[in-house]
Amino acid sequence: MVLYQPESGYCFNSDSVFLYDFIDSFNPKDDMLDVGAGSGIVGLLCAKDNDKIKLEAIEKQEEFLKYADKNAKENKIEYKLYHGDFIEFKFDKKYDYIVSNPPFYHHKSTKSDNEMLFNARYNINLPLDKFFKKVSQVLKPKSHFIFCYDALHFGEICAELAKVKMRVVDVQFVHPKIDRVASIVLVHARNGSNALMKVHEPLISFEGDEFSQKAKKIYEKAGTQSIKCQL
């Protein structure tokens, strides 16, 4: 899949690729909304592998919309894009799947002066409580919310989801190396579910200085070709 990205500013990384693979494991179909789509990588990869997905996305940064639209056309994927803030946007439908690689850098971290990077990275732009409340409002009953986040916030994630009557049913922690603590967590939550949480085998990103065999397989499956440019 050819993916155009900004020459300078936020570009996708392994978080998005690993999230796509996690989502794909649940065989998604029907109406999917990608929240904070950026250049569109997560939703477009899912739609590439699952032709029963009806893909839509929302992105508040106008510059990113140009890349997401170009990427959809380049890869011949039907795509409906909304320009706006997810929290404030008025949707006229509900979704079977909501997916997202949201901004999760802590608001007390050193902030970038680049506006595109600031909006894409820092959780002050999409607080968990408001994010999850909105998701619960636009998700169909007994449907799926799949996202990634900083692993340090997993306890908070479970607590905030419970407040909007959602439950984590699948979780996978991603570690940079086998002897390092988890850096991100992949979460599959559902509304109206009584299922116990399934903790999947950890995903280890690197073996020495190279991608692990599992990570290599995920990247090969994604088949991304990144082109940095100015649209």
pLDDT tens digits along 173-220: 999 999 999 999 999 999 999 999 999 999 999 999 999 999 999 999
* pLDDT-derived band at 38, boundaries 50, 70, 90: very high
Contact 202, 185 (CB under 8 A): no
The CA-atom distances, in angstroms, between 195 and each of 96, 108, 125, 192, 198 are 18, 35, 31, 9, 9
Give residue for tokens 């991100």.
184
* C-alpha angle 39-142-25 in degrees, rounded to nearest 5: 50
> Could you state, in order of their start, the residue ranges of all structural domains in the chain?
2-229
- Percent of the chain scored above 90 by pLDDT? 84
Distance CA 183, CA 4 (A): 26
Q: Which residues pair with 58 in a beta bridge?
A: 35, 82
- Asked whether the predicted pLDDT for residue 105 surpasses 80, the reply is no
| pLDDT for residue 11 | 78
* pLDDT-derived band at 117, boundaries 50, 70, 90: very low
* C-alpha angle 71-77-83 in degrees, rounded to nearest 5: 60
Distance CA 94, CA 32 (A): 9
Closest CA to 113 of 104, 101, 121, 103: 121
pLDDT tens digits along 40-91: 999 999 999 999 999 999 999 999 999 999 999 999 999 999 999 999 999 9
The CA-atom distances, in angstroms, between 202 and each of 100, 152, 164, 219 are 20, 15, 27, 17
Q: What are the structure tokens assigned to 210, written together?
A: 């190279």
What dotted CATH number matches 2-229?
Answer: 3.40.50.150
Mean pLDDT of 94-116: 70
| pLDDT for residue 106 | 57
* pLDDT-derived band at 114, boundaries 50, 70, 90: very low
| pLDDT for residue 175 | 98
